[in-house]
Structure 1
Amino acid sequence: MITIDYYKNFQEKRMVIFGELVLRYWNGKLNSAEDLNELTEDIKKKFHFTDKDTSFIKDHIRLAMGLDPKGDINFTDELNLVRNSKEITKPIVAKIEGPCEYCDHSKCEENDDSKCKYDAHLYNKNKGPVIVNDKCLSCGNCVSSCDFGALADKIEFLPLIDLLKDDSTPVYATVAPAVIGQFGDHISLGQIRTALKILGFKDLIEVALFADILTIKEAYEFTHLVNSEKDFFLTSCCCPVWFNLTRKNYPNIYDHMSPSVSPMIASGRFLKKLYPNAKVVFIAPCIAKKSEIQEPELKGAIDYVINFRELDEVFKALNINLKELPGDDKDQASFGGRIYARTGGVSFSVKSVVNRLEPERLVKLKSKKADGVKSCKAVLDDLTNNRDIGGNFIEGMGCTGGCVGGPRTNIQMEKARDMVNEFGEDSLILTPFDNLNVMKILKEFDITSIDEIVENKEINKMLSRD
């Protein structure tokens, strides 16, 4: 019997597997099942796994390739599947057999009497967690807290490599506002842009720019829908965990949810309208965004999602040292758009526009902010039971601290929050209303006034769920 030490800290070992995959595939050294078998043996030797663990290692290689685990010791057509892949399919989070028998299950048992925070997968004393995919919100909490690698999310970079090497296909990277500081204290967004261009990306676009556009839309919605002390409005921006938690479990409250898409989805829709042949990749702090792009009403906007931790491993594997790169800096987003990354950022941004639209408004925007699942549930329960929550604009984020506390970030939440605030303050654009980049985009659609964001059918469709 192997000891549990082989499985401990598997989150780090998993990134080593991914890094090796990237390096070999990038350099043309993964061409057959034999090459994948060689990688398996190298990983087993590196971490002292035994032959009993072969299926476990191979399933993690499959997941790192963006494929489903098979529980099979034989590689067959995995590389062909990657080369012919157009998208990563659900489920995003998968269970891998083997390591649960060596775990004391303490991490599985600590949430809500042995259940997932969202009741998505129920704990089984013998076999570990069982994923119920119609309930799973892909929040990533279970994945990031599983030290033994029994739960893992698919990584979407390997199918992207061929696209990045194809000069005929422009690939744009849109980055979440939480990106600042994730690759080093003094690494600028301009240096990250340069690094992504080295990889083959056409350009880096701040998703905060599209947060600015959505802020204006939601501000208009608020002024039209909240006109008495009893009215309230839920923002749908940013967080798919918050959105799906409300949609699946609080149908009466969901009626008050904004129909807006997330800034990520908006970025993909706009870029593909402007550049019809383009592919768009979102750089994220979380796992839930991988699932969001697969929702039927949102599908096609974003092609792949890579998280901060995965991208950091890509840079390391390909020996891209961001500190040595020149910065290609651009001021694309406002202070308000950039602080979407932390709790309260959406509320601040929307309020700044509401106050600009209706400075004498009788019913003022009073925000109620919830971050972390317990806080989100508590607010939704209070609203369901008609309790006064002290606000009429409700902002929810599934992670503590907001996106800066996501399960696939590289630095601590408090540090990330402070860096996002500083990055926001560095912007020369205070509010979304002052962002001339917004008007540059809108002019491409023959819009000359910000008011037309709501009135224009084409723009409104791109900013809304079907």
Structure 2
Amino acid sequence: MYIFGELVKRYWNGKLNHINDLNQLADEIKDKFSFESQDMPFIKNHIRIAMGLDPKGDDDFKNELDIIKDAKEIGQPVVTKIDGACEHCDEENCKCVEACKYEANIYKRQKEPVIINNKCLSCGYCVTSCDFGALADKIEFIPVIDLLKDNKVQVYAVVAPAIVGQFGEDVSMGQLRTALKILGFQDMIEVALFADILTIKEAFEFSHLVKTEEDFFLTSCCCPVWFNLTKKSYPDIFQFMSPTVSPMIASGRILKKLYKDVKVVFIAPCIAKKAEIKEPGLKGDIDFVLNFRELDEIFRALEINLQDLPSSDKDQASFGGRVYARTGGVSFSVKTVVNRLEPTRLIKLKAKKVDGVQKCKMILDDLSNKKNINYNFIEGMGCNGGCVGGPRTNIDIEKATKLVNEFGEDSLIMTPFDNLNVMKILKQIGIKSIDEIMDKKEVIQLLTRE
């Protein structure tokens, strides 16, 4: 994070305009951390990745600043490798080999890790497990700085439900909103608000599709790791997954429909979300993704002290939408709406909630083999504990879960059906009756994957 913090500070203050400025930063890093001259390619590649660029085979900076100034997006792959670092690693105790929770798609061979991108789920656990910096996820903030400083562009920050408490228990969501506005964002919006909208849609889908004791339904709402694991490896089960987009994608699509030419930046604990926004059919819905650790470093680099800021509080989402951040949150929220839609329903929603890639694989194996199926709504989260256990969180899972539950309970809105903000947005996008969320063409295009 030190390299990223220095980049932010210098780029923000107009002190990063030439190749010589990048070379100076590399030299300072070399001296500060006692690197050798032969380590310079490694240092410069980490600078490139912190700028959102791919690493290169040589150590000469060329047109990196020009490329990033013109960047409309950060390209694939999200998780990338840096040559040279593995030479310092004890292969017998290498953590990267065992880090991948899905068929060891990232592993060490000879002097560098190998990434199999057609299988990688971008969960990010290999990145956080590597002690030598051989693996890293690209950071997407440097292009955002130019957007924030452009008075002609409105940029919205949409924040994942797991964000509560990530910057200190004494930092309110209202203070976080103020800090983001200081950075230049137009406003901060809870993605939990859009989770409320999608909860209603998935509740309708469940009601329409689960008619017998043998029927079952997979939620697609939150997790790209769960979605892609099912799509890539369990096509027989994928047909039972909701076609609904994630709350993140819904937030970008709806904001861009309501406000002309806006940019939307998603802030999350997740590395996989950086890959999700680059998928065909989803590109352009969200412009850039930042994670909690990156945002923490941004505040630190720009000397924004959250505790000292006034609080600008808004009650945007329901209890149900806010607890999407932890395991079981989606199931709870959808069930509350199903019960409101059909209070006398004979086939009740029976949820199965799993977290962690290995448990997700186990439940998908059971479904494929028609084994021990006594449930009809399956919620999968790629991270242990749900999003609160993401690879780029700032606090531990137990504390994060507690704070998410408390923040949900603080909401004046109990369920998505009670959220007047939802009803206002639905009206703005052309829905006159709640039933139209399933069959109105314009709404289907907004809330459904291609």
Q: Same fold (TM over 0.5)?
A: yes
TM-aligned CA deviation for residue 127 of structure 1: 2.2
Query: Does structure 1 retain, via aligned residues, the 8 Å contact 2:274–2:289?
Result: yes
Query: What is the SS of the residue equivalent to 2:431?
Result: coil
Which of the numbers 287, 304, 307 marks the counterpart of 1:323? 307
* TM-score under structure 2 length normalisation: 0.98
Task: Check if 1:63 corresponds to 2:63.
Answer: no
1:287 alignment partner in structure 2? 271
1:51 alignment partner AA = S
2:18 alignment partner in structure 1? 32
1:409 alignment partner in structure 2? 393
TM-aligned CA deviation for residue 23 of structure 1: 0.1
1:147 alignment partner in structure 2? 131
TM-aligned CA deviation for residue 118 of structure 1: 1.9
Query: Does structure 2 retain, via aligned residues, the 8 Å contact 1:188–1:327?
Result: yes
Q: How far apart in 1 are the matches of 2:142 and 2:97?
A: 34
**Structure 1 residues 179 and 122: CA distance shift in structure 2, 3 A:** closer
2:27 alignment partner in structure 1? 41
| 1:121-143 per-position Cα deviation (integer Å, ceiling 9, x unaligned) | 35334224200111111100100
Which of the numbers 243, 265, 274 marks the counterpart of 2:258? 274
Q: How far apart in 2 are the matches of 1:240 and 1:109?
A: 21
2:120 alignment partner in structure 1? 136
1:173 alignment partner in structure 2? 157
1:4 alignment partner in structure 2? none
Does 115-124 or 314-323 show the bigger shift? 115-124
1:236 alignment partner in structure 2? 220
Q: How far apart in 2 are the matches of 1:448 and 1:332?
A: 21
Query: Does structure 1 retain, via aligned residues, the 8 Å contact 2:201–2:438?
Result: yes
Query: Does structure 2 retain, via aligned residues, the 8 Å contact 1:261–1:463?
Result: yes
Uncovered stretches (5+) of structure 2, i.e. residues with no partner: none
Query: Does structure 1 retain, via aligned residues, the 8 Å contact 2:45–2:56?
Result: yes
Q: How far apart in 1 are the matches of 2:374 and 2:133?
A: 42
Q: How far apart in 1 are the matches of 2:433 and 2:155?
A: 30
Query: What is the SS of the residue equivalent to 1:185?
Result: coil
Which of the numbers 70, 74, 84 marks the counterpart of 2:60? 74
Query: Does structure 2 retain, via aligned residues, the 8 Å contact 1:120–1:132?
Result: no
Which of the numbers 141, 144, 151 marks the counterpart of 1:157? 141
| 1:311-349 per-position Cα deviation (integer Å, ceiling 9, x unaligned) | 000000000000000011000000000000000000000
Query: What is the SS of the residue equivalent to 2:438?
Result: helix
Task: Check if 1:218 corresponds to 2:212.
Answer: no
| 1:386-405 per-position Cα deviation (integer Å, ceiling 9, x unaligned) | 10233110000000000000
Q: How does 1:441-456 map to 2 (within 5 A)?
A: 441-456=425-440
1:334 alignment partner in structure 2? 318
Q: How far apart in 2 are the matches of 1:122 and 1:320?
A: 37
1:440 alignment partner AA = K
1:256 alignment partner in structure 2? 240
Q: How far apart in 2 are the matches of 1:124 and 1:332?
A: 46
TM-aligned CA deviation for residue 446 of structure 1: 3.2
Query: Does structure 1 retain, via aligned residues, the 8 Å contact 2:96–2:106?
Result: no
* TM-score under structure 1 length normalisation: 0.95
RMSD: 1.1
Task: Check if 1:104 corresponds to 2:104.
Answer: no
Q: How far apart in 1 are the matches of 2:195 and 2:64?
A: 38
1:279 alignment partner AA = K
Query: Does structure 2 retain, via aligned residues, the 8 Å contact 1:101–1:126?
Result: no
Task: Check if 1:207 corresponds to 2:180.
Answer: no
1:50 alignment partner in structure 2? 36
TM-aligned CA deviation for residue 303 of structure 1: 0.1
Percentage of identical aligned residues = 70
Uncovered stretches (5+) of structure 1, i.e. residues with no partner: 1-14
| 1:18-37 per-position Cα deviation (integer Å, ceiling 9, x unaligned) | 00000000000001110000
Query: How many residues are treated as equivalent by the alignment?
Result: 449
Query: What is the SS of the residue equivalent to 1:305?
Result: strand
2:107 alignment partner AA = Y
Q: How far apart in 2 are the matches of 1:116 and 1:209?
A: 32
